[in-house]
Amino acid sequence: MDLSFDLAKALDRTLTDAARRAGLTEAGFAPEVRPADPVHGDFQANGVLAYAKRQRQNPRALAEALVSQLDELAPLFGLAIAGPGFINFRLKPAALLAWLAAHSNREALAAGAAAAEQGHTVVVDYSSPNTAKQMHVGHLRSAVIGEAICRLLAFSGAKVVRDNHVGDWGTQFGKLIWAYKRQLDSAALARDPLEEFERLYKAGNSAAEADPTVLKEAQQELVKLQARDPENLGIWSRINEVSLFAFQEIYDQLGIRFDVTLGESFYNDKLEPVYRGLADSGLAEESQGALVVFHPEHPRFKTQPFIIRKSDGAANYATTDLATILYRTGPLHATDVLYVVDKRQSDHFEQLFLTARKWFEKMGGPLPRLRHLDFGTVLGENGKPLKTRSGENIRLKDLLAEAVERSYQLVSGKNPGLPEAERRAIARTVGVGSVQYADLSQNRSSDYVFSWHKMISLEGNTAAYLLYAVARIHSIFRKLDLRPGEAPGETGATAFETPAELALARKLVRFPDALAAATGTLRPHFLCTYLYELAGDFSTFYNADKVAVDEPAVRARRLLLCNRTLLLLETGLQLLGLRILTKM
């Protein structure tokens, strides 16, 4: 067996071959090699028990028959049979060294990881805010989780299409255009366009509430927009342009770059096939003037229909999303579509997917795999959705600015000797990274409590802790006058010996498992947990074993451990969307 990137998979294949030689495959022996609890070993195979049960054989004897076919593993692993037929594999120190030596840079890791998602074209629909409004804290999670997922998938070999499906077409534009024509404050627009649009929308809204003529006029503005009246179209497109420009400032801070921004309006001329397709296939029916799809087999959607055309003839969120599926399947060639959207929209997506599945079945075309990657709410310390003290939504812009400011305090306290400009630059990385990491380190499906105090801290599972670990390894190399990128001083390394060396090396070779767990489940927190543990093991190692010792072979292997820890921490953090630091 070779020491390829994904050792669990390689062991799996080796075991399948051994089973064939032992005459077990015909009857369906399926080895399942998984990362093991460190007390047992590095990996564990647990397909034997189930197979033995089916065959009414003694599992232990079966395991022994298998192990007798595994001589080729002897130079790499210590093998042991445990309990009723588990096979445990423990990497030998020389094999640990060989794996780490072979995976010495980002390219080697990427080459190893790229097999997992090869051949997939994944459209990721994330961030997707509505235009003419500020992005607030509710928009944080989709952007942060979506970007991490894009990076993880791309690293694992998928072709990723980042699509910002902005809400740029909706009934709000009637009131907004009404107010824009009458009350636009150009100075305010130049200062903060989204703020001005928000003010205009509110002004239009309250005017329409107070006065039925205004309401009528606003409705007419909307009708004119929908009929492509040049003036209204001009205002509308200006509002969207300016909004996207303002969003980009946030995206720049978060390191996000979309491949396409195909908002709802992009589908305006692509809705007919949806009505026709669903009506012709018999899935949609008229109900009280609207065109709707019922799902009789579903407990709720048998009475609560999916409305695809409102009774006034207008399209809605569902219509656009169906047209979007057609576009992503056709021109974008998606094999997978991921919707990174708040879990409060899960009914919408369940209905959307059900409808699309039935529709594509009737059309006989392959439907991409559609998944709603839901996430919970960001809560304040009071357990309610996070708001300002006066009960307003917190702007994302302000939240990030506060994170940077608080990080500046942290950095200045830790390293007051650094020049101010450098501390400011470090604070930007730590601040934004802290907000991203606090979000990503939680299982995305749960709500989480936003706590400045916990997230901007050098202790615990935080960005600052991990960025500091990275900076510390850089400083080790700086002191030795070595440059880590070049993997210096590693030649002549001997196999690991001390308990701390071995524990760190064993953690390092687990990186592929953490990556596979995060990418396979589309839950970045698995990678966060791994990085946190890795940084902890590095710390233990660094406190226990001196790196710059005189014996060249010992020094070389310890430098190798420093180098690989740095490589994996940096790679991992960047896959999560964070920026890294060489000094802190």
User: Which listed residue (78, 157, 167, 255) binds ligand ARG by CB under 6 A?
Assistant: 167
For the beta sheet containing 86-91, the strands, ordered from the edge strand earlier in sequence to the opposite edge, are: 33-35, 43-45, 86-91, 77-82
User: Which listed residue (117, 125, 501, 513) binds ligand ARG by CB under 6 A?
Assistant: 125
Query: Which pair of structure tokens corresponds to residue 582?
Result: 């060489």
The one segment of 121-129, 275-283, 360-368, 440-448 that binds ligand ARG by CB under 6 A = 121-129
User: Which listed residue (16, 57, 121, 130) binds ligand ARG by CB under 6 A?
Assistant: 130
Residue-wise DSSP of 43-105: EEE-SHHHHHHHHT--HHHHHHHHHTT-GGGTTTEEEEEETTTEEEEEE-HHHHHHHHHH--S
Which residue type is seen at 404? V
User: Which listed residue (339, 437, 465, 541) binds ligand ARG by CB under 6 A?
Assistant: 339
Residue 145 in the binding site for ligand ARG (CB under 6 A): no
- Is residue 85 within 8 A of residue 45, CB to CB? The reply is no
Cα–Cα distances (Å) from 82 to 42, 53, 79, 93, 445, in that order, read 14, 17, 10, 21, 36
Classify residue 308 by its DSSP letter: E
Residue 168 in the binding site for ligand ARG (CB under 6 A): no
Q: How far is the CB of 528 from ligand ARG (least distance, A)?
A: 25
Residue 162 in the binding site for ligand ARG (CB under 6 A): no
Q: For ligand ARG, which is the closer residue by CB, 93 or 170?
A: 170
Residue 165 in the binding site for ligand ARG (CB under 6 A): yes
Q: How far is the CB of 437 from ligand ARG (least distance, A)?
A: 24
Q: How far is the CB of 264 from ligand ARG (least distance, A)?
A: 8
User: Which listed residue (44, 69, 88, 128) binds ligand ARG by CB under 6 A?
Assistant: 128
Count of residues engaged in binding ligand ARG, rule: CB under 6 A: 10
- Is residue 280 within 8 A of residue 345, CB to CB? The reply is no
Q: How far is the CB of 345 from ligand ARG (least distance, A)?
A: 7
Q: How far is the CB of 331 from ligand ARG (least distance, A)?
A: 16
Alpha-carbon distance of 351 to 318, in angstroms, equals: 9
Q: Mask 303-322, x = binds ligand ARG (CB under 6 A)? A: ------------------x-
The one segment of 122-130, 293-301, 504-512, 522-530 that binds ligand ARG by CB under 6 A = 122-130
- Is residue 153 within 8 A of residue 523, CB to CB? The reply is no
Using Cβ positions, the residue closest to ligand ARG within the complex turns out to be 167
Q: For ligand ARG, which is the closer residue by CB, 367 or 502?
A: 367
Cβ neighbours of residue 464 under 8 Å, at least 6 residues apart?
Answer: 407, 410, 430, 433, 434, 456, 457, 458
Alpha-carbon distance of 437 to 327, in angstroms, equals: 33
Nearest CA-CA partner of 531 in 492, 491, 574: 574
Where does this chain bind ligand ARG (CB under 6 A)? 125, 128-130, 165, 167, 321, 324, 339, 341
